[in-house]
Chain A
Amino acid sequence: MKIIYTDALIIGGGLAGLRSAIAAKKKGLDTVLISMVPVRRSHSAAAQGGMQASLGNGKMSEGDNEDVHFSDTVKGSDWGCDQEVARMFVQTAPKAIRELAHWGVPWTRIRAGERTAIINTKKTIIKEDAHNEGLIQSRDFGGTKKWRTCYTADATGHTMLYAVANEANRLNVYMTHRKEAVSLITKDDQCCGAVVRDLITGKLGAYIAKGTMIATGGYGRIFKVSTNAVICKGTGAAIALETGIARLGNMEAIQFHPTPLFPSGILLTEGCRGDGGVLRDKDGYRFMPDYEPDKKDLASRDVVSRRMMEHIAKGKGVKSPYGEHLWLDISILGREHIEKNLRDVADISKTFAGIDPATGWMPVLPMQHYSMGGIRVKPNGESPTLKGLFCAGEAACWDLHGFNRLGGNSVSEAVVAGMIIGESFAEYCLGANITIDTDLINQKLQEQQTYLESLLKLNGTQSIFAIKTKMQEIMSAKVGIFRNAKDLQSAVDELQELYRECKNITIKNKKLHGNVELDDAYRVPRMIKIALCAAVGALQRCESRGAHTRTDYPKRDDANFLNRTLTYWKHPDDPLPTVEYEELDVMKMEIAPGFRGYGDKDNIIEHPGAAKRAEEITRITDELTAKHADRFTIQNALMPYELSPKYKAKNQRVGVGYE
């Protein structure tokens, strides 16, 4: 079993992992990136709709800036996010997008003159100024005040991922694929690298590094129906959980997207509605304005998904052999627009549903889409409890999204986190020292080897595939869009039972390589642990916040739950994760908890400090405004935050310069 030594180990080659690798390599570190699949196949490639950054170039984004993006993000999160992190993020996002343009992402650019757009089902003329022609254009997405989502037609993730992978190639970053991290190596509460399995030969190796970064994406595949790629199994978070030291944050915070294609679950981007498409019921009636008169079809995702389920419950769903669904209508946009800006959508619809969306409506139903939860890290990206372990991207709970993330904020987070966390990770690696002797490394390798061999020897009655399916069914049925104590408790019980069943299997092929049944035999128990963290977290969170909806506790309860759920696996033999909470400090918030501007009003149990903080914010703002302070001074007075100068630098915009 091989041992490889390096300075910086990055696990995962999506946008977050690749961008972090670039940061590490640029600091001159010996950098190794491993990925389960060739990096360009990472799930980031599937992002369609776009990336949020407040460039403010186009007509419909005039007046946009970091402050507006910040406010949208905090409200979107239902005040669950870390506002300091949100500030770091919005300040860096415009730089990220400009850097990506420089690396060759062919962002759709502004064309001077008039064009027709569909806004609120009506044809509207938008006129772009001639002097802005050639700057990066943006489109409308849910939950945002301005049109802020930059895009390359509807293949944004693909072009971003390729550009970042190209840059990593230019810098000669060492990347190796079909390698899966199966265990973290820790010594005295410090992470020293990982045990890695070669998915071709089945052989184990140890990668020993001064710093380890996990950028393994989300855990959507613990659900039966999900928009996620089949590799989004959350195994990166699971191996952190299995250290017993690292904590996972807000694992119950799971987003359901309103418009995956039914029944396959292949996503139809939010850009469909952003560009003017609407939802319709079995009578062809556009129902969203009745529920959300203000934001309509473009309220935030959690709200739209719930309204759709509510509407189906009222008997308005379209019946089909696979169950009920609703319609997404983009035919009103016209064929030309669809074939240019929503080409992949048209392709998906034609291929998988046999429907040409320029003439017909597409069947849709809300399904699991995004994991807000993940490995809990500090603003610099490091685990607060396991030294030397960093995490970025969807795998992390950095906590930009709180209980609901806005469309377009995720690829943006992946790249921005790669820049910010990538840099702090690199600095950590430069200064770090690890001392670990070969005996300990060999022992860790041997443990995993013995475990794999023991799985091959099991002689039970179950199929690991059937267990996986059962887990996915439990999660979709009982830990889904609407949750309640009874279902959640039964999910927790059943998942524990399933976990035990994982020892009652037989693997047909007895080889250690080329054996996908063996792969699942060690992945599924880890997935069940992740599922348990989500289910237990959801059960104990007796409130509704963002995407987490408890029918038995319909109010957002700031008095008791303005906090972050932390789960960890104290002892390997524990049947359940241990749960702790981390308070969010109201008195440090830049925007005090309040109404989001969509969803149900008067549905909040207030935090005792919220009104006081709101007053304080108003007072500070008024005082400084009277003294003609600029927005940066006011922001700094309300909530100072740290960020390296190159990312904190002011962003230039058309018309306003650096204001």
Chain B
Amino acid sequence: MSRKLTINILEYDPQDPSDRPKIVSFKMDETPSLSFYLVLKYIKEHLEPDLAYDVVCRAGICGSCAMIINGTPRLACKTLTNNFKETEFTLAPLAGFALIKDLSVNTGIWMKGMNKRVEAWVHQNTPMDISKIERKIDPDAADEVFELDRCIECGICVASCGTKLMREDFVGAVGLMKVARFRADPHDIRSDEEFYELIGDDNGIFGCMSLMGCEDNCPKELPLQNKIAYLRKKMVELG
């Protein structure tokens, strides 16, 4: 016997002056390996044809589908209903980002700003000849950069962050991770002083209160707190 699920969705169209946020309930049968992406697809195709949510890869790779599921920010496509004891779920848009409609939020625009702010690109001053054998990189250093490069900019760390609630302009764990990533990259020539310029304030590395929300929820299981603590130590040495 499959379980009956109740799905409550916070719906709101901020562009429609006559609309007010409301919770709408839907009922459906649970099927094996049912992800919340499939739940939403079912509701859209059968019950609520204009339900807005963001899904691209539906495989936990692209970071589009973060939302609040029963109080915790998660990737909808990677979260399965059968991993919960509950049969009733409440879905709300990811906090901390501009709401587009229903469960769709504009993480993209926020991430764009964050990337520009921490200058998330390799800084270098030597031109390269692409016909020549590439520069050798220590295999461990390459692995370390890869580890830090796995962030998919889903925004879950931002939505889980106590500091972000109080400081609108906090760069979030994701922003600090970017700095850690380029700092570890042998191709990037920036000095710690230059990184300090970017994040050496309360909206950056000194804003983090180590509440751990980010790391607990990060779907890529990135070592956020460890890296942030290390970065803070380095930045304190300069400050």
Contact = CB atoms under 8 A, between A and B. Distances in A.
A136 B59 contact: no
B51 interface: yes
A267 B131 contact: no
Nearest to B145: A106
Interface string A629-659: 0000000000000000010011111100000
B63 interface: yes
A152 interface: yes
Nearest to A651: B131
Given A178-B108, A266-B59, A516-B52, A134 B137 contact: yes
B58 A463 contact: no
B112 A38 contact: yes
Contact of A46 (B16, B59, B101, B107): B59
B139 A40 contact: no
Interface stretch (A62-70, A392-400, A494-502, A506-514): A506-514
B216 interface: no
A354 B33 contact: yes
A144 to B, nearest CB: 20
B211 interface: no
B30 interface: no
Contact of A158 (B131, B145, B150): B150
Contact of A507 (B49, B124, B149, B187): B49
Interface residues of A, number: 78
Contacts of A354: 33
A32 interface: no
Contacts of A162: 149
B61 A46 contact: yes
A286 B119 CA distance: 50
Given A109-B138, A178-B108, A43 B56 contact: yes
Name the prevailing secondary structure of the B interface residues: loop
Contacts of B51: 516
A107 interface: yes
A649 B131 contact: yes
Contact of B152 (A96, A98, A158, A230): A158
A111 B137 CA distance: 10
B215 to A, nearest CB: 17
Interface in A100-129: 101-104, 106-111
Contacts of A97: 134
27 contacts: A37-B64, A38-B111, A41-B63, A41-B108, A55-B134, A96-B130, A101-B135, A102-B130, A106-B149, A106-B185, A109-B139, A159-B146, A170-B122, A178-B108, A230-B57, A266-B58, A266-B59, A348-B59, A351-B78, A463-B49, A466-B45, A509-B49, A514-B52, A516-B44, A517-B50, A650-B131, A654-B133
Given A46-B57, A177-B109, A178-B108, 16 more contacts: A41-B108, A98-B132, A102-B124, A104-B145, A109-B137, A136-B134, A158-B152, A169-B120, A200-B15, A229-B62, A352-B59, A509-B50, A514-B52, A516-B52, A652-B132, A653-B133
Interface of B: 13, 15-16, 32-33, 35, 44-45, 49-52, 54-64, 78, 80, 100-101, 106-109, 111-112, 115-116, 119-122, 124, 128, 130-139, 142-143, 145-146, 149-150, 152-153, 182, 185, 187-188
